[in-house]
Structure 1
């Protein structure tokens, strides 16, 4: 049987050639996630990306599939139980988003710190006004939930602003550019110190509604909450209550429990909230970075049978 790689996301000819060069002996086919060729996928050993309606073809008992390279960092929409049962290797796109998402995080932070969000609204109404509450980042504390690629890049940038950095992670292990790291069970203790609390977490059974009424009540009064991880990690009603009570001075939100955010949702009308449409990770360099991950993984897959980067632990769900 021919060794086959099928990519379901669009790649340039140059990106395709890079994959072919990294995987000698394999055929490479550019597929289409919107109109997947099931006959082609039925013979694939490696698939890049995923699509609706392909699970039964790829995960049948006699399937040739051995490895899936996710197109995204988040893998919660994939049939994880079936992939695990079939013994399929799964690698994520973790690390692809570090640069664009950290830029959005600091976009939110700087808008709030310098009141630029209200300045834009005032400009639309030709109002010359400042309430004098502008501040700066020097000496402020950023608490970053999630110390992976995005959290680490955010901490590195925070240090350039001479901020204190506190991380929250499952393991609590030290990571560069963090002054201190707490384990997740000490989340309330960590967030109580933050001027900006930044959520970069994936959605797992453990992180669902991790930010809830209890954790928001531990926030420093007048702090800001930023969520660019996954919407379901946050109890939206508890967030709105914390904003209305003034526990939070503002929130920068790129992800939501329901997407698109309904037009009648109360978050839209809250002037202390900045909303982006789950676009923080979008970048014109996205495909190049996925190809970088994939070609590096192909080397180790061909030599040892296992990809070396971003291998998903099905039990941890990331």
Structure 2
């Protein structure tokens, strides 16, 4: 056993110390995900992060690799079949995004209900104007696809605005903060009730293109759609058609099927759309939270041979 940990993301000296204190006898070396040192990775037992072009090195037959801790919540870009075949333990960064992404979700909702997006445009044109159709979140219904850490935090904050909360999950099991939880198969029935439909889903075979023309047609006239999950869970052409027809009143979008969103894409010119560049989860506390997850998992890994937190289920792809 090499007892080598390689992190492909920058860490402060304090964060490095936390890891080394939790892993006596291990070495910790910092690499670069954009320019990975394959020789360094070839001897790693544990890798934090991922990068292009490292799969063959890490997954060769005689590799000492046993565990990968991703720097992201999503794992769709990793070679999941090969990792599973090799029996590699895989944990993700689920949970680190809940607070900042929830803030972005409510930023979108407040922009739309209070017309703040149009106010910013009016300010740029020195125009004193209001359509007079401002609303509020109180009494509105949020349909939240995904009842994990992000969805649950969103539901919790929604209650402070006295909103009704409906969740969507694979199981449909009750979750704290949600007035009701539907299964994914019941998504068409759930979205009928939403003033806001919020997509926090990971990208899997089951969720690819899930939000399409059929789902948008089931939404109430004037519903707002928010996507901070993965771009490919939404059929973009169908979304634009629903926005143009008025079926959807607006959309707050942080993720897209193609990223970066091309400069000539029609979404840029739609005034009822607010776009952020896949930064909803960005926060100056990100690395601290990943290190917290990793050091917690180190304890169970060293004691029981496997991390216990955020373990990826290969059959579900998250």
The TM-score range, normalised by the shorter chain, is: over 0.9
The 5-angstrom pairing of residues 169-318 of structure 1 reads 169-318=169-318
CA distance in 2, matches of 1:142, 1:34: 39
CA distance in 2, matches of 1:53, 1:257: 23
CA distance in 2, matches of 1:122, 1:211: 32
Question: Residue 40 of structure 1: CA displacement?
Answer: 1.4
2:74 match: 74
1:166 lines up with 2:171 in the alignment: no
Question: Residue 39 of structure 1: CA displacement?
Answer: 1.5
1:39 match: 39
Query: SS at 2:251's partner residue?
Result: strand
Question: Residue 173 of structure 1: CA displacement?
Answer: 1.0
Query: SS at 1:138's partner residue?
Result: coil
2:29 match: 29
TM-score by length of 1: 0.99
CA distance in 2, matches of 1:119, 1:211: 29
1:142 match: 142
Question: Residue 113 of structure 1: CA displacement?
Answer: 0.4
CA distance in 2, matches of 1:213, 1:225: 13
CA distance in 2, matches of 1:114, 1:37: 50
Question: Structure 2: which 5+ runs fail to align?
Answer: none
CA distance in 2, matches of 1:287, 1:121: 35
Question: Residue 37 of structure 1: CA displacement?
Answer: 1.6
Query: SS at 1:123's partner residue?
Result: helix
TM-score by length of 2: 0.99
1:51 match: 51
What's the CA shift string for 1:60-104, capped at 9, x where partnerless?
011100000000001111111110110000000000100000000
Question: Residue 317 of structure 1: CA displacement?
Answer: 0.2
Query: SS at 1:271's partner residue?
Result: coil
CA distance in 2, matches of 1:55, 1:111: 43
CA distance in 2, matches of 1:137, 1:8: 42
Query: SS at 1:201's partner residue?
Result: coil
Is contact 2:2–2:64 with CA below 8 Å preserved after alignment?
no
Is contact 2:10–2:30 with CA below 8 Å preserved after alignment?
yes
Query: SS at 1:134's partner residue?
Result: coil
CA distance in 2, matches of 1:28, 1:216: 49
Q: What is the RMSD computed on CA atoms of the aligned residues? A: 0.6
Question: Residue 32 of structure 1: CA displacement?
Answer: 1.6
CA distance in 1, matches of 2:51, 2:31: 10
Question: Residue 35 of structure 1: CA displacement?
Answer: 2.2
2:95 match: 95
2:122 match: 122
What's the CA shift string for 1:173-193, capped at 9, x where partnerless?
111100000000000100000
Query: SS at 2:242's partner residue?
Result: helix
Question: Residue 2 of structure 1: CA displacement?
Answer: 3.0
Question: Structure 1: which 5+ runs fail to align?
Answer: none
Query: Matched residue pairs, number?
Result: 318
